[in-house]
Amino acid sequence: MAADYNAAFVYNLDVHPHYWGTLCARKLITAMLKRAKSDRCQYAVVDGRPSSYCGTDWEKVAQNPTVRAAIDRYLSGGDFPTDSELTRDPTLGFYRLVCMSNKVPERRFLWIIPNFLPEDKATNGLRVIGCVELRKA
């Protein structure tokens, strides 16, 4: 951990399937955000994988045409997807609920990074990055 850090990162959160549908992940993230705020972090950055972009049998997530079309539109030079479009993905919806629950400009999805992790077939390698200004959270 850096000595004088000002940001916390929520990423690579993997919950064993036995605990899917429980409060395990929510409690972990909530505790992390509380700690980050008490450590005077200014930001929390969320790295979400849109698993419904292609869908995945293992995670039992179907492809969501709305999510895919919104991301494809943006990657082709169009408008950035709305929260309503992105949160139709279960992972992004979860992060929005837990980390970015208030609908104010300081809590939003900001970037879509193509080819971030090409091995992730469910997302086609994509990541969606969000930010929370903790001093306003």
pLDDT, position 74: 97
Question: Among all chains, which residue has been given the structure tokens 């001093």?
Answer: 135
Distance in Å from the first CA to the final CA of the chain: 23
Q: Which of 7-16, 81-90, 98-107 has the highest mean pLDDT?
A: 81-90
pLDDT, position 95: 85
**pLDDT digit string, tens, across residues 31-86:** 888 888 888 888 889 898 999 999 988 888 999 999 999 999 999 999 999 989 99
**What kind of architecture, by CATH, is found in domain 7-136?**
3-Layer(aba) Sandwich (3.40)
Q: Domain-by-domain residue ranges, the chain?
A: 7-136
Amino acid at 91: T
| CA distances for 52 relative to 31, 43, 127, angstroms | 27, 27, 12
pLDDT-derived band at 104, boundaries 50, 70, 90:
very low
Any idea how long the chain is? 137
Asked if residue 99 lies in contact with residue 44, where contact means CB atoms within 8 angstroms, the answer is yes
What mean pLDDT is reported for the chain? Answer: 86
Residues of the chain with pLDDT > 70, as a percent, come to 91
CA distance 1 to 22: 29
